[in-house]
Amino acid sequence: MAEKGSPLMKWFKMLHGVGLLMIVAGTGLLVMTQIEQTLNGMLVVSSLLGIGGVMISPFPVALFFRWASNATHDQPSSLAD
């Protein structure tokens, strides 16, 4: 899929970090303030948590695909010992 220094992995890593910050901000607003008591506050908190969750999801999947492709290349051609 994507190699170690590819621009796609850099974008996924950057989006992962932004998504984590959005989740932390949404959780902080939910736990530490009363903003979730209003309709606008509910919209802000749910948007931060939902969009943050969507933004963090591609990076672990891309890491898994990179790991899986590297693992198949490293296996010996014969399994008989």
Q: How far is the CA of 9 from the CAs of 27, 67, 74, in angstroms?
A: 27, 13, 21
pLDDT tens-place string over residues 19-72: 999 999 999 999 999 988 999 999 999 999 999 999 999 999 989 988 888 877
The CB density around residue 12, as the number of other CB atoms within 10 Å, is: 21
- Sequence spans of domains, the chain: 14-56
- pTM value? 0.76
